[in-house]
Amino acid sequence: MVFADLFFLYFFLPVCLICYFITRRTVVRNAVLIVFSLIFYAWGEPVWISILLLSSLVNYIVGRVIGKYPESGRAKAALIGSLIFDLGVLFGFKYTAFFVENLNGLFKLDIPVPNIVLPIGISFYTFQTISYVVDCYWGKVKAQKSYAKFLMYVSMFPQLVAGPIVRYSVIENEIDNRRTTVKDLSEGFSRIIIGLGKKVIIANNLSTVVTALLGSAENGYENISGLSVAGTWYGAVLVGLWYYFDFSGYSDIAIGLGRIFGFHFDENFKYPFICKSISEFWQRWHISLSTFFRDYVLYLPLFGKRRKYGGLFLVWFCTGLWHGASWNFIFWGLYYGMFIFMEMKIGKKRMKKMPAALAHVYTKLVIFVGFGIFYFENLGALGKFFKALVGANGNSLTDPVTANLFMNNIWLFIAAVILILPIVPKIKETAVKSKGSAYAVQTAGIVCNAAILLLSSVLLVNTTNNPFLYFRF
């Protein structure tokens, strides 16, 4: 089941909310969330619910062992065992075929490549359970004594299948003590509608233009061979905009749903395109993932010591690999690691002295080339992409197809560029400060939300499959 679906919006969610709010008892509300979360997850792939339940049970038991025997050999053994289990399951489902393919290619072997279906959301809930057991071991959180409550944390449908990665410490107190205020309901529903609009109205239309320009994995990215320099850059920019609106849209819906149920998830995107350095970009983009690697991988003792730059490149290797079993994702991660390494060597003070215009040009060039690397999973097509960026493929500076696509989608492009900047919040903030304008701002917000919901619903009428990009991670 997906959020951008009429069945979810107008049946599943209303029924869930009715069952949730007919009681004030937290224990019953927790049970409602567990039941509806398991239904949500099992809707498309019921067989994989067994992996989710097994993972939650194993990590619950490990947490109890660590809580009962803190700072002991048993606790350390339990932690190591859980990490082996969690990472083993993730590797088995996500990377086995990739490993076998590369093993065959490297040693000229003929090992059958297994066709393993990736359980939806396994990368997200695995990282949640890892963060939980590690925080228990470090004494940052207390081990949860109730398996039902821990299962609710792991399986909660707002963030189950595509994040953000919600740490146990963020909602530890709200599992037992939470309430939903009128403000939570208002801001929660508003956030859901905004996220839905980002996905259905903007991201889906951007994806159509991207496919028309660059091609897709299904057709072998055949368009990239004949694309002009301008078309290639335009496509790379659109890929970045598409991914932003798709993933931030999901995060908005997840955060909004959490607010309605009384949970306050951390922000996952903070206008990343206004950054003036690549380090800042990753402080604003997919924050839950970047902070996970920062806190749990960066300071790992490599070869017996904490190595600053070794840890840095390990983080970015893992960041790339986490996104998918393909070399382009690994190159993408190391690509960002290289620029962050360069910025570290330059130093924060010197980076801040860079003229703002130059800083924005530098960061946007790096970011949008990065999105191109992310998009082309076929290395041959990726090579053609790099050539097309500088005209080394022998093609022209511009082409009619790009010009037509640009003009036909000019308002979509303008809207996307405006919405990636904090312009709307600034207007709202200024208007609220004006005397007597609070009611007008509130009314305008309600009208806009109603219009976004209506338009999104109309666009979803004939849509049969509308998954978010990060479902595949």
Token pair of 218, please? 């299904």
Q: Residue 181 — φ and ψ, nearest 5°?
A: -90, 170
Token pair of 211, please? 């496919």
| Cα→Cα distances 311→295, 303, 317, 329, Å | 11, 11, 10, 18
* 306 sits in which H/E element: strand 305-306
Is there a contact between 297 and 315 (Cβ–Cβ < 8 Å)?
A: yes
Crossing angle for the helix pair 147-155 and 26-42, to the nearest 10 degrees? 50
Query: CB under 8 Å, gap of 24 or more: what pairs does 77-80 form?
Result: 78/133, 79/133, 79/134, 79/137
Instruction: Look at the block and give the residue holding tokens 């299904």.
Output: 218
Distance CA 135, CA 132 (A): 5
> Which residues are marked as active site?
323
Q: State how beta strands 301-302 and 305-306 pair.
A: antiparallel
Distance CA 399, CA 361 (A): 24
Q: What is the DSSP letter of 361?
A: H
Is there a contact between 12 and 40 (Cβ–Cβ < 8 Å)?
A: yes
Is there a contact between 330 and 320 (Cβ–Cβ < 8 Å)?
A: yes
Closest alpha carbon to 376 in 243, 224, 244, 202: 224
Cβ-based neighbours of 384, under 8 Å, separated by 6 or more: 221, 224, 225, 393
